[in-house]
């Protein structure tokens, strides 16, 4: 049952319009980490039971992409910086 709810939650988020995705991340998301690529800051958020990457243009200071991470392999660039204990305290 829990897995079904998580899948629906992620699918619901992906189906939202762009502005609603931004609002959801800002209202419900927990910032876990930020990393830098040439020209962008990538912010990793935990939103409900899934993760979202927000790409922020360094030059214009605006969000250019909101990307839900559907596969745990996509978390690999963050694994050495993020502690899951922060997400699931005792």
What's residue 79's pLDDT?
81
Residues of the chain with pLDDT under 70: 1-8, 83-90
Per-residue pLDDT at 85? 58
**Cβ of 41: how many Cβ atoms within 10 Å?**
15
Cα three-residue angle 1-43-62, rounded to 5 degrees: 120
CATH classification at residue 77: 3.30.67
Number of domain units in the chain: 1
**∠ CA 8-22-51, rounded to 5°:** 50
pTM given for the model? 0.80
Domain housing 61: 2-87
- pLDDT for 82 equals 73
Degrees, nearest 5: CA angle 2-71-90? 50
């Amino acid at each position: 049952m829990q897995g079904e709810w998580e899948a629906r939650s992620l699918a619901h988020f992906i189906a939202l319009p762009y502005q609603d995705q931004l609002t959801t991340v800002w209202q419900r998301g927990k910032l876990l980490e930020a990393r830098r690529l040439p020209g962008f800051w990538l912010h990793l958020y935990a939103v409900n039971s899934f993760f979202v990457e927000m790409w922020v243009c360094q030059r214009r200071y605006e969000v250019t992409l909101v990307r839900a991470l559907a596969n745990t392999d996509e978390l690999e660039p963050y694994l050495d910086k993020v502690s899951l204990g922060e997400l699931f305290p005792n």
